[in-house]
Structure 1
Amino acid sequence: MAKTIFATPDDAEQAFYEALTQGDLDAMMAVWSEDDDVVCVQPGGSRFTGLAAIREAWRQLFASGMKIRVRTSHPVKTQAMLIAVHCVLEHVSIEGEDTMAPPMIATNVYSRGAQGWQMILHHTSPAPDTDGLLLQETPRIVH
């Protein structure tokens, strides 16, 4: 099977959140760089380094059967020739639950190489001050 090539960091990010929502491990791992220095920090504070550890963390989450829905908002994006950093708010809901959790803050870092844009870091943590975050100016692209 040919590796998916993402032409832009936005394409890679869209694929990441689609894979998360669908619970699709192969699609999730297609977004990640095969570099040994990739890092994923999940909301509970666990840090996974390296592709094998990241794959296993996502496998466990998807195997739980929990159906996660994520909508992003308030993006702040910085991009150079070979690296892009996206900071977004993640609005997460769990299928079957009536309550919506407070937003999470996510930083996604992508690098551009021969295989297009790929994720090298995903870090999500709880937002400490939801009201202050939502009052800040909305979508920005910083170059």
Structure 2
Amino acid sequence: MSDGEMTDPRQVEAVNTAFYQAVERGDLDTLGSIWVDAPYADSALCVHPGWLPLRGRDEILRSWALIMANSPYIQFFLTDLTVEVTGELAVVTCNENILTAVGHEADATGLAGGRAVTTNIFRRTPDGWRLWIHHASPVLGPEE
């Protein structure tokens, strides 16, 4: 990638989109290619809504494998997305509007919805932008 591509927020947004698409498809291989690897693998961090922090690439990918194995359907609708690129880091914030077929709160269609506010931090690597930190906090209460 050229220097211009590595500072272009659209490149970061494309990797962020690929992250959510991989989860929706249950594609652990693609998800693994999006998360940082050595030398940043041990410092990777993931906080799923309502979970304690997970540290390290292997633990994080295991958690996503578990989520995808137990989610027959999941779809993310991202809103209020912002991207900021500063040096070797890029920060994406967004609202995740989640539709899933998992859980006891499913309606008559078998689907349930949820919302989370998310911060995704990407690191610039020789292979392009890679997800380093994912932190999703649940939004409680009715929509405005």
Q: Quote the Cα distance in structure 1 between the aligned partners of 2:30 and 2:52.
A: 22
Q: For 2:111 and 2:68, locate their aligned partners in 1 and report how far apart those are by CA, in whole Å.
A: 20
CA distance in 1, matches of 2:89, 2:71: 34
Aligned to 1:85: 91
Code of the aligned partner of 2:84: T
Give 1:86 deviation, angstroms. 0.7
Q: Which runs of 5+ in 2 are unaligned?
A: 102-108
Structure 2 residue 66 is matched with structure 1 residue 60:
yes
Q: Could you list the structure 1 runs, at least 4 aligned residues long, displaced by more than 6 angstroms after superposition.
A: none
Counterpart in the other structure of 2:52: 46
Cα distance in 2 for partners of 1:39, 1:111 equals 12
More deviation, 58-67/24-33: 58-67
Query: What's the CA shift for 1:123?
Result: 0.6
Q: Could you tell me which amino acid in structure 1 is paired with residue 92 of structure 2?
A: H
- State the identity as a percent: 25
**For residues 63 and 12 of structure 2, what CA distance do their matches in structure 1 show?**
23
1:124 and 2:130 are equivalent in the alignment? no
- Counterparts of 2:61 and 2:34, CA distance in 1: 11
Say whether the 8 Å CA contact 1:83–1:111 is kept in structure 2. yes
Assess if the C-alpha contact under 8 Å between 2:12 and 2:83 holds in 1: no
Name the count of aligned residue pairs. 125
Distance 1:121 1:44 in 2: 16
CA-atom RMSD, angstroms? Answer: 1.8
Q: In structure 2, the residue corresponding to 1:85 is in which secondary structure?
A: strand
Q: CA deviation at 1:66?
A: 2.8
Aligned residue number for residue 97 of structure 1: 110
Amino acid at match of 1:56: R
Is 1:29 the counterpart of 2:41? The answer is: no
Q: TM-score, normalised by structure 2?
A: 0.79
Q: Structure 1, unaligned stretches of length 5 or more?
A: 1-5, 132-143
**Which piece of structure 1 moves more, 16-25 or 73-82?**
73-82
Give TM-score scaled by structure 1 length: 0.79
Tell which deviates more after alignment, 63-72 or 30-39: 63-72
